[in-house]
Amino acid sequence: MIHYQSTRGSRYIKTSAQAIIQGIAEDGGLYVPNEIPKLPFEIKEMVGRPYKDVAFAILQAFFEDFTDEELNRCVDGAYDEKFDSEEIVPIVKAEDAYFMELYHGKTAAFKDMALSIMPYLLRTAMKKEKEDKRVCILTATSGDTGKAALEGFADLPGTEIIVFYPKDGVSEVQERQMITQTGKNTHVFAIEGNFDDAQTGVKKIFDDESFADDLREEGYKLSSANSINIGRLVPQVAYYVYGYLKLVERGVIKAGEEINVIVPTGNFGNILAAYYAGEMGIPIKKYICASNENNVLTDFLATGTYNLHRDFHLTSSPSMDILISSNLERLLYHLSGGNGKEIAGLMEALKKKGKYTVHPGILYKLDKFHGGFATMDRVAKTIGYMYEKYDYLMDTHTAVGYRVYEDYIAYTGDRTPALLASTASPFKFAKDVADAIGLKEEENGFEYIKAVHAKTGVMVPEGLKDLEHKEVRHTGVVKVEEMEAAVREALSR
């Protein structure tokens, strides 16, 4: 039976339902499975099957305490007509990569793939555990998680959701998506700081035992919708498995042949999901970790030293403007052989000194990962080139991934078939996309959406239409040290 334990060595173990409800372990660590299950099927027998079937099989392998009936209900509720593509995840070839388009959900970003199902998983888990308290979902976002979580949990019985985002660190479209969110249980606050400040503030609240006691007395239990929650991470594994199966189906590879995977990476959750897929049995030769100018991961993968003592950059790919990549902790735990004490020491060093260095054994095992980064100028040129030459329009984050992949090919000559995680609709970052394809300056982000559509003919996602006319419902702006007070205030309404 697979159970879940903390990356920092806590002796307590949890079922998947308990881990999903709790979100973060009592010692501040992240929940990981005691073993990564093997694929529950032969690759050949799953080729051609719909996305729902693949998602069900992966969830069933990780969440053994859920019944088949419960998981089917979750999958059927999540992956339905709310996605604008019948395939759920289309795979599109452009030049020398296969773009796995993960942005066809309600909020036009890859976060929909997991946050469409996580509310169902959480509600099911609460029933299984006979949880009688209201769950307060507390989330920091660099832009996309916030809206996807708000959309998923809006008016869900037994929950309140509170989202913090960096005031000047998201696109105009991302911000408008969040501050116009409806739902009596939704609460959104901008913070005066960057995403790392928001994420650190949320973790501090989770670590505050007296605050948690106060909430329990008021009938609330804290949890999270970030990828630090295992219920958010595991559903992401499914689309890497599905992507591999589609490449087999299309004859790009034969079952058992290797692929490379490229992931634009901020908090490390999306590429960790690819790693889990690889450990399950999907043949992945290289995990290509693509960063923007905030290239702390690029340096870490090259040297084994994670160092926060560097400038923080606001870029055209704001969802990756992150220096503290939380999910890296999970990978290090697995590569250390499950040494929670060692991981706790590394995280304490990061907290106190702003840096840590892994031992040579872990650095050696990181060899399957390749790190690279792309500047905003090169990202813009990549968007322009791919649209002009191949009529393929991509967003800034996907362009980071493709630019790093092209650099990887130039450096290694490795042309193993490549699956690239395309993480957001180009309309979410319409100004930068418009600039890259040579459009004139517009008044605001919403006019850029119209201009990009008019130029390219690419359809605007339904959730991004007429955003400028929607009522602004959330106007709170707080300092980092005021985040806890903001949570209290939100829950007292």
242: domain range?
Answer: 91-108+231-459
Q: Residue 223 contacts by C-beta under 8 Å, 6 or more apart in sequence? A: 20, 21, 22, 23, 122, 135, 136, 137, 138, 229
Question: Does pLDDT of 142 surpass 90?
Answer: no
Confidence at residue 180, expressed as pLDDT on a 0 to 100 scale: 95
What pLDDT is stored for residue 227 in this prediction? 85
Cα separation, 186 vs 474, in Å, equals 9
Nearest to 106 by CA among 157, 59, 148, 52: 148
Is 170 domain-assigned? Answer: no
Here the CATH number for the domain that contains residue 443 is 3.40.50.1100
Residue 162: partners with Cβ closer than 8 Å, 6 or more residues away: 136, 137, 138, 139, 187, 188, 189, 486, 487, 490, 491
**Global pTM?**
0.94
Please report whether residue 455 resides in a domain. yes
pLDDT at 226: 83
Is there a domain that residue 356 lies in? yes
Write out pLDDT tens, residues 36-63.
Answer: 999 999 999 999 999 999 999 999 999 9
- Is 478 inside a domain boundary? no
Q: How many domains are there within the chain?
A: 1
Domain-embedded: residue 210: no
Within-domain flag for 361: yes
Do residues 478 and 147 touch, judged by C-beta distance below 8 A? Answer: no
Residue 376, domain member (yes or no): yes
Residue 410: pLDDT band with limits 50, 70, 90: very high
Share of the chain above pLDDT 90, in %: 90
DSSP assignments along 449-468, one per residue: HHHHHHHH-PPPPGGGTTGG
